[in-house]
Amino acid sequence: MVVKVSEIPTEVVARSGLRATEVNLDSTLKDLSLWECSVDVSQPGRVVAQIFKAYSLLPGVILTDKGEFAGMISRRRFLEQLSRPYGLEVFIRREIRVLNRLANQKVGQHLLPDHLVLPGTEPIVEAAVRSLERPPEKLYEPLVIKCSSHCYCLLDVHQLLLAQSRIHELTTQLLRENTQAHLIQTEKLASLGQMVAGLAHEIRNPVNTLWGNVKFLKTYSQDLLDLVEAYEEESGEDPEPIEEIKEDIDFEYLQNDLPELIDSMQESAERLNALVGGMRNFSHMGENHPQLANLHECLDSTLLILRNKLKYGIHLVKSYGELPLVECYSGQLSQVFMNLLTNAIDALNEREKSEQWKPEIAITTQWLIESDESEWVKVEVEDNGTGIPPEIQERIFETFFTTKPVGKGTGLGLAISHQIVTEKHQGYLKLRSQIGSGTTFEIWLPVSLSSSSD
């Protein structure tokens, strides 16, 4: 909105912006309602008086000297000077530069800053903090906003504080929602752990029966085959009915295939037993106290659960070093390993396939001894996928931040992983990534939680 008054040798522009109730967390100063009004310092003071009389809401006037920015005089300071003895007679006729010089004279031993100039791109919250850092005498002075190289506007400090208050409300609301969502996710993980633990317990008994009995089945079947073979050697040729039965059941093929069939059953039973063990390790997410755990077993259990995703052409390299037992929440660390490995698999699947490139995930563990009282283990999960852009790396551990489509990712996996490593285990979760080369996550964990907290 541009308003002109014929007797005033300038124009006043009221830039309509967002109301205080309409701002969002990313709003900047240029989004707010600003005033654009400039007067040359060579003009007499009556010009400023006329402008303030015509625009009752105008907080101040931008001062220029031959077209260049020279400062700002607020309505409050202008009226203070005019209210002095003979102020009206003195300043109305004199140039504005004289009035501005007196308005900014020394108070005590300190020269008060004339104005606070902020760029239009300054976030509202940061601008409010800088505004409140001013001396008490300047606290309610309007702010000068630099909208472009030669364009300066004014912002009423009350509008800024109202906008900052609204952002504070939005931040509190978002924090409350994030906390609630985090609690829900934590409860889901705990419930999942209980469900997996119960399922593993229910499956374990029949699996143990299969796994144990298949060994006896192998022994018994071999004994029967040996018995038949001994009978044939002793009796010579079989009677015709027996020969017909052997031919009908293809006894020669059965004799060779049965041991292989039982070996296959035994291998499957062993894999199923290992999977149940992995499920039990993974189900310790709700544990209340840290316990000594073998991180290699945690990793292998997680890999076993992810076996179906890993088998599609992804080469897995495990470089396990010698590790001590680590005091930790093993179920929660299994969740961290699951999140990092799942992200690595997704990154490999997103990269365009070629004959020169082969998808690979490398897991490396290392025991680091800094002193007798400081021992750490490091777990690296590395992929040769697409890599992560720098602007995303800066936000990778933020709650609810995700680059995946709606419904594909919650933005909680890495945030929760970071919290588990840093808060629950007093460790570090670090990221190294380069576009086109891949990504590496480093997990640093103290061997003893008690010693790391001292």
CA-nearest of 335, 330, 328 to 413 is 335
What's the token pair of residue 119?
A: 């760029």
What's the token pair of residue 261?
A: 């069939």
Ranges of beta strands (E only) in 29-127 are: 34-36, 38-40, 60-65, 68-74, 106-107, 110-111, 117-119
Alpha helices in 362-431 (DSSP H): 390-393, 413-419
What is the residue extent of each domain of the chain?
2-155, 175-286, 288-454
How far apart are the two ends of the chain, measured CA to CA in Å?
63
Q: How far are the Cα atoms of 324, 330, 336, 448 from residue 292, in angstroms, in the given order?
A: 9, 8, 17, 9
Task: Tell me how crowded residue 273 is: count the other CB atoms within 10 A of its CB.
Answer: 17
pLDDT at 279: 64
In sequence order, what are the beta bridge partners of 18?
32
Could you give the CA distance from residue 334 to residue 301 in angstroms, rounded to a whole number? 8
Could you give the CA distance from residue 441 to residue 432 in angstroms, rounded to a whole number? 6
CA-nearest of 281, 280, 265 to 211 is 265
pLDDT at 3: 38
Could you give the CA distance from residue 374 to residue 370 in angstroms, rounded to a whole number? 5
In sequence order, what are the beta bridge partners of 362?
317, 382
What's the token pair of residue 199?
A: 């399922």
Tokens 């316990």 correspond to 291
CA angle 232, 237, 238 (to 5 degrees): 75
- Full-model pTM: 0.46
What's the token pair of residue 205?
A: 């008994």
Could you give the CA distance from residue 141 to residue 62 in angstroms, rounded to a whole number? 13
Task: Tell me how crowded residue 371 is: count the other CB atoms within 10 A of its CB.
Answer: 6
pLDDT at 431: 92
Segment holding 78, helix H or strand E: helix 75-82
DSSP 214-275: HHHHHHHHHHHHHHHHHHHHHH-SPPHHHHHHHHHTTHHHHHHHHHHHHHHHHHHHHHHHHH
Segment holding 190, helix H or strand E: helix 157-235
pLDDT at 86: 66
pLDDT at 439: 93
Tokens 């750490």 correspond to 376
Tokens 């017909």 correspond to 244
Q: Which fold has domain 288-454?
A: Heat Shock Protein 90 (3.30.565)
DSSP 371-386: ETTEEEEEEEEEE-SS
Q: Which fold has domain 2-155?
A: CBS-domain (3.10.580)
pLDDT at 453: 54
Mean pLDDT by 10 residues, the chain (454 residues): 45 68 84 88 86 88 87 84 72 78 53 70 89 85 87 89 88 77 64 64 73 80 81 70 77 81 79 68 62 91 81 86 92 87 87 82 91 85 90 78 54 78 91 90 90 55
In sequence order, what are the beta bridge partners of 81?
none
Q: DSSP character for 11?
A: -
83, amino acid identity: S
